[in-house]
Amino acid sequence: MSDGHDDDDDNGDGRIHFAFDRDIKTIAISAIVPLKSLPEGARESRKFAQVLSSIKAIGLVEAPVVIADNKNPGLWFLLDGHLRLEALKELGTIEVECLIATDDDTYTYNKRVNRLAPIQEHRMVARAIERGVSSVDIADALGLQVESVIRRFRLLEGISPEAAEMLKDTPCSMTVFDVLRQMSAVRQIEAADLMIGQHNFSIMFARAIRAATPDSQLVARKQGSGRGAGTPSGQQIARMERELAALQTQVKSVEETYGIDNLHLTVARGYVAKLLANGRVSRWLEHHRQEYLGEFQKIAEIDSIAPFKDAPEQ
């Protein structure tokens, strides 16, 4: 989370292996070496302007990801965040907080790892509000509704600090926190431990945990709220278990093909960018296939295979 969350891998001994350190390190921008050049025209693109305006309004949303240069102590290779780094340079920033990668996995890393987790997004919004930035300005910078910004700001209301700490780098959706809020603090911690142990942060799994929670560990609903239903029946629980098993099967299937699919997409994107860097090809497309040129430029500018839907890329 920054601003990103860990992409966990089981290393065979039942323990989770993290792709980067949990702590954030402040590094001089002059000591960071990008691993790729920005495509021509990237600084004039709408995306770059959006990143620039977002940083000006509320600061850096997602921390860049770097890995140490083993041959040159003090230098760092940039794995993710090339647009962000260029924007910071343009703003005259001297140093930046970064996530430190522990594995040099530049093609599978992408945004699958450095995705802004809801808790860290909450902290980013809270920091901006503490600095006096209005919710309206934050909403404009992130392309969100004001109500959505307020919801992010209040994300941890009713959430146990221990559970929040456990889930800070996970991809739990805001809806999952709504479910956790219905449980006592102790049960929230147990639920967080179960989700981490199963590496399953879906709303369906959270609801299954909620259904299996004794009434004594549930938070009493406010009278007259009219929200929520009673404890699910055995038939409903059985249905959720079946849906959960199906979901886990689907996730496993996607994970098995993710690496090679991502490699193919990255290679294809690189090939398109190389074609556009050829002046003769670009001129031919501009005169004969302008519609292709526009789409190819969009592909070449892609900075994430799986973009985050709520906040703009930084």
Residue 218 in domain? no
Closest CA to 86 of 142, 47, 45, 48: 48
The pTM assigned to this predicted structure is 0.47
Strand arrangement, sheet containing 95-101: 20-28, 95-101, 65-68, 76-80, 32-34
Amino acid at 191: A
The pLDDT, as a whole number, for residue 191 is 92
Question: Is the pLDDT confidence value at 112 over 60?
Answer: no
Q: Residue by residue, what is the 3-state secondary structure of the chain?
A: CCCCCCCCEECCCCCEECCEEEEEEEEEHHHEEECCCCCCCHHHCHHHHHHHHHHHHHCCCCCCEEEECCCCCCCEEEEECHHHHHHHHHCCCCEEEEEEECCCCHHHHHHHHCCCCHHHHHHHHHHHHHCCCCHHHHHHHHCCCHHHHHHHHCCCCCCCHHHHHHCCCCCCCHHHHHHHCCECHHHHHHHHHHHHHHCCCCHHHHHHHHHCCCHHHECCCCCCCCCCCCCCCHHHHHHHHHHHHHHHHHHHHHHHHHHHHHHHHHHHHHHHHHHHHCHHHHHHHHHHCHHHHHHHHHHHHCCCCCCCCCCCCC
pLDDT over 70, % of the chain:
72
Q: How many domains does the chain have?
A: 2
Residue 62 in domain? yes
* Structural domain boundaries enclosing 47: 1-115
The strand pairing partners of 99, in sequence order, are: 24, 65
Domain end position, chosen among 87, 115, 143: 115
- The residue that leads in pLDDT, 263 or 126, is 126
Question: Is the pLDDT confidence value at 272 over 50?
Answer: yes
The pLDDT, as a whole number, for residue 95 is 94
Tokens of 274: 């190389």
Stretch 285-307: mean pLDDT, rounded? 74
Could you give phi then psi for residue 226, rounded to 5 degrees? 70, 10
Domain end position, chosen among 82, 97, 115: 115
165 vs 37: CA distance, rounded Å: 36
Residue 272 in domain? yes
Domain end position, chosen among 115, 137, 155: 115
Highest mean pLDDT among 25-29, 110-114, 138-142: 25-29
Residue 176 in domain? no
Least confident of 7-11, 57-61, 99-103, 231-235: 7-11
Residue 212's contacts (CB-CB under 8 Å, 6 or more residues apart) are 237
The pLDDT, as a whole number, for residue 108 is 43
Stretch 21-25: mean pLDDT, rounded? 62
| Average pLDDT of the chain, as a whole number | 75
Quick: pLDDT tens for 149-198: 888 888 889 999 999 989 987 888 889 999 999 999 999 999 999 889 88
Question: Is the Cβ–Cβ distance between 297 and 100 less than 8 Å?
Answer: no
Residue 149 in domain? no
119 vs 159: CA distance, rounded Å: 11
Residue 146 in domain? no
Stretch 198-208: mean pLDDT, rounded? 86
Quick: pLDDT tens for 222-242: 444 444 445 556 666 667 667
Domain CATH number, residue 85 = 3.90.1530.10
Question: Is the pLDDT confidence value at 283 over 80?
Answer: yes
* Residue 65 CA from chain centroid, whole number: 12
Residue 182 in domain? no
Closest CA to 63 of 141, 125, 120: 120
Residue 233 in domain? no
